[in-house]
Structure 1
Amino acid sequence: GAKAGMIYTDWPMMNGALFPPVEWGQGALTFLHDQGLVQLNHRIGAYVLLFAGTFYAVQALRGRLGEGLGASALVLAGALWLQAGLGVLTLIHAVPVTLGVLHQAVAALVLATATVNLWLVRRSRPRMFVSGLR
């Protein structure tokens, strides 16, 4: 709602810089109202989720997290990668309505996939790393 995606339409930089210039005059509200900072926070959050989801999928595929989680974790990681790619594409095209709506729809898909994955995790049999803890 802040239209932050329309102010810096390059990636991975933000108008040629790693960090946008920020006017801190609004104090803590700057994090919610400064378009550059809103976009930077969105990018950082996306990078963290993408890394964590990919790491989780690799661990699940190796069988280190529980039984039967590999496929679900892979679908979740795939949805995260699709969302990240779509986010970059949406950004560099200055947020056309079609891509913006698609980015929102895939966000709902990521949430649904993560919810299903959590349901499966809670029902899986955990793998113990130290013998004798079963």
Structure 2
Amino acid sequence: MIEPDRTEWQVRCAFNAFCKLVLKNEAINIYNKRKQRQAKEMTISDLTPQEKNQIYTLDKQYEGEDGEFFQVAGKKITPQLLAEALRNLPIEKRKTVLLYYFFDKSDIEIAELLEIPRSTVQYRRTSSFKRLKRFLEEHADDWDD
């Protein structure tokens, strides 16, 4: 076995001591940060009922007296308008959208079910969105009921 010369050995020892010191200081920093964070944190069970009510909000998506609707970008979208937009899609695109969003099917499952390539399913879904968006933008303001 070849013995390292004295200066190389001293360099190794100094580097070893430096590494140990860095790791020790990093562990101390982590410990201190964790302690500070725990001092600021509070469990949900420790909150008062008033504080618990402040940590969440409910969206008021549906409004209106006559019927339900929701607003997107200042446009009033009713369930009837959305149903009409879906009815205006070609049947194969409508099937794809309904299977994907209402029956939680993946593109692969839809492709197997309809016996078409997966890429066709993706194309139908994305192009359907464009058509639905365009229809809703055009008819949202003048749709009553």
TM-score strictly above 0.5? no
Larger Rg: 2
TM-score by length of 1: 0.30
Structure with higher strand content: 2
TM value normalised by structure 2: 0.28
- Structure with bigger RCO (C-alpha 8 Å, 6+ apart): 1
